[in-house]
């Protein structure tokens, strides 16, 4: 990477404390990633925005706050810049509103206020990138495969079956079912409808996802084949396939820290291999590690052919120092 080019990151950890959806390792995941970004990948701490729902956090990872942070990052991007978004928290699937896909489900992440950020929102961010900048998303959440709408699958659904076995860990899936999200939103809006978009617009207005705010024809125009780029610089490393769950791990013995299985696997791979690794290598090694640890999730990679073999985070620093 050329001297003077920026490395920018937004790190989001949602533990949903004192709620029925509580997780334990998500904030630990992004704190560990922040340390790795600064020590291993040359990120300046002032260029890393951290959003968590820890009790002491002043700015919480609501849908609006996460999107504002991502917008700020993309808005200041220039050719050659490296952008990174690490999300650790719950994911979900929602009925697709996209024209031509009446039976599909779309992927979304679940901020602490349930203002969903969908695959359409992440596609819109990638589309805004200046040519020559890269945007890597690492999503440690359930149903995270395909979180950038229309991004090309490089490493995807696997037919590999893994038999569960007992571990000295307590595992919680990072998933909130659609029905639970709908029930929660209905309790807030008091509107009797199963249309999640109605609830999202009622609660969040202009801060709701593009998926719920744009008319179907505008969605088709914005994200349809006629407007899709032959290649783009969006890179998604997902913790699992679109139909799978990602694990949040809480050690039951020894007093160890809780963590997300995928976040931990990626960080382990990077610590054990100090040379440059491609995006493909990072995902394949994380898959192998999770398989050895008997997890029933399969990390995936979505990006262009060129970016599949590009260096993870385009690192160009002396790793021996």
Q: Record the tokens describing residue 26, joined without a space.
A: 């998500």
Strand partners, 169: 251
Q: Is the pLDDT of residue 57 over 90?
A: yes
Instruction: Determine the average pLDDT of the residues in 85-103.
Output: 81
pLDDT reading at 226 higher than 90: no
Q: Check whether 317 has a pLDDT greater than 50.
A: no
Instruction: Name the DSSP class of 175.
Output: B
Q: Is the pLDDT of residue 286 over 70?
A: yes
Query: What are residue 155's DSSP bridge partners?
Result: 301
Range of lowest pLDDT (6-15, 148-157, 162-171, 224-233)? 162-171
Task: Name the residue with tokens 């491609």.
Answer: 278
Mean pLDDT of 211-224: 74
Domains of the chain: 7-314 (3.40.50.12660)
**CA–CA distance, 109 with 246 (Å, rounded to integer):** 12
Q: pLDDT band at residue 167, thresholds of 50, 70 and 90?
A: very low
Give the Cα separation of 136 and 77 in Å (integer). Answer: 13
How confident is residue 225, by pLDDT bands cut at 50, 70 and 90? low
In the predicted model, what is the mean pLDDT of residues 53-60? Answer: 96
Which positions are annotated as active-site residues?
90, 142
Encoding tokens for residue 92?
A: 């979900």
The beta strand positions in the chain, using DSSP E, are: 7-13, 48-52, 82-88, 91-95, 105-109, 117-118, 134-140, 153-155, 169-173, 234-238, 247-251, 259-260, 300-302
* pLDDT above 90 (res 56): yes
- The pLDDT assigned to 320 comes to 41
Q: For residues 141 and 43, give the distance between their C-alpha atoms in angstroms, rounded to a whole number.
A: 24
**pLDDT one-digit tens code per residue, 231-256:** 688 999 999 999 999 999 987 655 68
Each residue's pLDDT tens digit, 99-130: 665 557 899 999 999 999 999 999 999 999 99
| Per-residue confidence band for 227, with pLDDT thresholds at 50, 70 and 90 | very low
Q: What is the pTM of this model?
A: 0.91
What secondary structure, in 3-state letters, does 253-298 show? CCCCCCEEHHHHHHHHHHHHCCCCCEHHHHHHHHHHHHHHCCCCCC
């Amino acid at each position: 990477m050329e001297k003077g080019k920026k490395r920018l990151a937004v790190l989001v950890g949602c533990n949903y404390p004192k709620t029925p959806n509580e997780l334990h390792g998500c904030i630990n995941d992004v704190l560990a990633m922040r340390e790795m970004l600064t020590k291993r990948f040359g990120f300046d701490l002032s260029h890393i925005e951290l959003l968590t729902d820890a009790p002491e956090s002043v700015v919480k990872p609501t849908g609006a706050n996460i999107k504002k942070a991502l917008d700020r990052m993309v808005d200041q991007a220039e050719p050659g810049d490296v952008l990174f978004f690490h999300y650790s928290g719950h994911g979900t699937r929602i009925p697709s509103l996209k024209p031509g896909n009446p039976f599909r489900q779309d992927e979304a992440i679940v901020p602490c206020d349930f203002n969903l950020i969908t695959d359409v929102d992440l596609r819109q961010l990638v589309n805004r990138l200046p040519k020559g900048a890269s945007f890597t998303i690492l999503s440690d959440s359930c149903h995270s495969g395909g979180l950038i709408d229309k991004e090309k699958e490089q490493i995807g659904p696997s037919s590999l079956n893994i038999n569960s076995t007992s571990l000295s860990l307590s595992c919680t899936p990072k998933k909130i079912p659609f029905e639970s999200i709908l029930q929660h939103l209905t309790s807030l809006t008091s509107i009797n409808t199963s249309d999640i978009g109605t609830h999202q617009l009622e609660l969040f207005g202009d801060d709701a996802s593009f998926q719920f705010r744009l008319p179907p024809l505008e969605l088709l125009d914005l994200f349809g084949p006629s407007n899709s780029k032959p290649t783009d610089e969006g890179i998604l490393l997902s913790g699992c396939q679109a139909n799978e769950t990602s694990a949040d791990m809480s050690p039951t013995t020894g007093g160890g820290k809780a963590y997300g299985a995928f976040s931990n696997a990626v960080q382990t791979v990077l610590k054990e291999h100090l040379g440059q690794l491609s995006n493909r290598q990072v995902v394949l090694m994380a898959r192998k590690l999770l398989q050895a640890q008997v997890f029933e999730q399969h990390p995936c990679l979505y990006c262009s052919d060129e970016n599949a073999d590009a260096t993870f985070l385009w690192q160009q620093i002396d790793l021996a120092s």
